[in-house]
Amino acid sequence: MAKSIDYGNLMHRAMRGLIQTVLKDVAAHGLPGAHHFFITFDTSVEGVEMADWLRSRYPGEMTIVIQHWFENLTVNDDGFTITLNFGNQPEPMVIPFDAVRTFVDPSVEFGLRFETHDEEEDDDDEEPEDDPTPPQGDAQIVRLDKFRKQ
Please give the pLDDT value at position 87: 84
Q: Is the pLDDT of residue 12 over 80?
A: yes
* Torsion-angle region of 43 (φ positive above 0: left; ψ -120 to 50: alpha; else: beta): alpha
Query: pLDDT-based confidence at 129, cuts 50/70/90?
Result: very low
What is the edge-to-edge ordering of all strands in the sheet holding 70-75?
70-75, 79-85, 90-96
pLDDT at 1: 63
Tell whether pTM > 0.75.
Answer: no
Is domain 7-116+137-147 annotated with CATH 3.40.50.880? no
Q: Is the pLDDT of residue 118 over 80?
A: no
Q: Assign 117 a pLDDT band (cuts: 50, 70, 90).
A: low
What mean pLDDT is reported for the chain? 81
pLDDT of residue 97: 94
The pLDDT tens digits for 59-108 are: 999 999 999 889 999 999 999 999 999 888 899 999 999 999 999 999 89
| Per-residue pLDDT at 2 | 67
Output 125 or 88, whichever has higher pLDDT: 88
Sequence ranges of the domains in the chain: 7-116+137-147
What residues does 100 pair with on adjacent strands? 41
- Residues with Cβ within 8 Å of residue 106, at least 6 apart in sequence: 36, 38
